[in-house]
Amino acid sequence: GAVVSQHPSWVICKSGTSVKIECRSLDFQATTMFWYRQFPKQSLMLMATSNEGSKATYEQGVEKDKFLINHASLTLSTLTVTSAHPEDSSFYICSATIGLLQETQYFGPGTRLLVL
Amino acid sequence: RKEVEQDPGPFNVPEGATVAFNCTYSNSASQSFFWYRQDCRKEPKLLMSVYSSGNEDGRFTAQLNRASQYISLLIRDSKLSDSATYLCVVNMRGNYQLIWGAGTKLIIKP
């Protein structure tokens, strides 16, 4: 149980376009979903936390107008990278928690974004 | 100083050997500790939680030293499949945020 999927797994796009990444909890309802970004040889960096039906909480330094997060249901959160640029190329990973056990995060397989 | 620090490695270890690496954390209020494993181009996967008394799971042993603020991971009888990056993760109880180390790369050689 506790499977999280992400779609797409790979994205290559031109600079200036917007890219939407979906994160779904397949067999459970996720109280909270998290979006991370990981650059090569670096640690995961939390971008934002989203709860169903409310606005996402962004970490310091993350532009909320550039990284739009929508959490429409307890099983789906989306991250849209608007007007993507080459420096946005990264590995984007979502995770989800169940109920109060927020220390246990279930990770999606990640989405690798390459902006040309 | 980074909140969670790890030696990036790589640690090149022959198959069958024992290898250990540490992770230091800066916030003494940290309450929960984890080791995750991340394979190349994949998401991290929980390897084991680290308990105050230390814990073992098969060939893997995790230890916590609160006085010196570090946790360790020991791998015995290493296998080729143990090759991965091992991420140290710290959490403060009541706070959802996980603080991640940059990882230690381990390469097991035949």
Chain A residues in contact with B4 by the CB 8 A cut-off are: 43
Res A101 pLDDT > 70: no
Q: Are A5 and A110 a contacting pair, CB within 8 Å? A: no
| Residues A43-56 as b or e (16 or more Cβ within 10 Å = b) | bbebbbbbebeeeb
* Token pair recorded at residue A59: 């970490």
The pLDDT of residue A75 is 92
Q: Do A91 and B41 touch (CB under 8 A)?
A: yes
Q: How many CA atoms lie within 13 A of B77 on its CB side?
A: 3
Q: Which of A24-33, A68-77, B5-14, B92-101 has the lowest mean pLDDT?
A: B92-101
Q: How far is A83 from chain B (nearest CA, A)?
A: 24
The pLDDT of residue B93 is 62
Res B50 pLDDT > 80: yes
The dihedral through the CA atoms of A74, A89, A57, B89 has a sign that is positive
- Mutation target among B49, B96, B105 for the A interface, most CBs of A within 10 A: B96
| Strand-pair category, A45-51 with A57-58 | antiparallel
Confidence of residue B24 (pLDDT cuts 50, 70, 90): very high
The pLDDT of residue A108 is 94
Among chain A, residues having any CB pair with chain B shorter than 8 Å are: 32, 34, 41-46, 49, 91, 93, 97, 102-105, 107-110, 112
Tell me the average pLDDT of chain B.
91
Q: Which of A3-7, A11-15, A93-97, B95-99 has the lowest mean pLDDT?
A: B95-99
Query: What's the CA gap between A93 and A106, in Å, rounded?
Result: 10
Give the mean pLDDT of B26-31: 85
The pLDDT of residue B13 is 96
Q: How far is B31 from chain A (nearest CA, A)?
A: 11
Res A84 pLDDT > 60: yes
Give the bridge partners for B38, in sequence order: B85
Within A1-116, strands assigned E span 4-7, 10-13, 19-25, 32-38, 45-51, 57-58, 67-73, 76-81, 90-97, 106-107, 111-115
Digit-coded pLDDT (tens) for A2-57: 789 999 999 999 999 999 999 999 988 888 899 999 998 888 899 999 888 888 99
| Percentage of chain B exceeding pLDDT 70 | 95
Nearest neighbour of A46 by CB, restricted to B42, B43, B97: B97
DSSP B53-107: T-EEETTEEEEEETTTTEEEEEE-S--GGG-EEEEEEEE-TT--PEEEP--EEEE
Res B20 pLDDT > 90: yes
Q: Do A109 and B41 touch (CB under 8 A)?
A: no
* pLDDT greater at residue B54 or residue A21: A21
Measured in whole angstroms, how far is the alpha carbon of residue A86 from the centre of its chain? 18
The pLDDT of residue A102 is 57
Residue of B nearest to A41 (CA): B102
The pLDDT of residue A1 is 67
* pLDDT greater at residue A82 or residue B91: A82
The pLDDT of residue B94 is 59
Q: How far is B85 from chain A (nearest CA, A)?
A: 10
DSSP A17-37: --EEEEEEESSS--SEEEEEE
Q: How far is B21 from chain A (nearest CA, A)?
A: 17
Nearest neighbour of B44 by CB, restricted to A97, A107, A112: A107
Chain B residues in contact with A97 by the CB 8 A cut-off are: 96
The pLDDT of residue B47 is 93
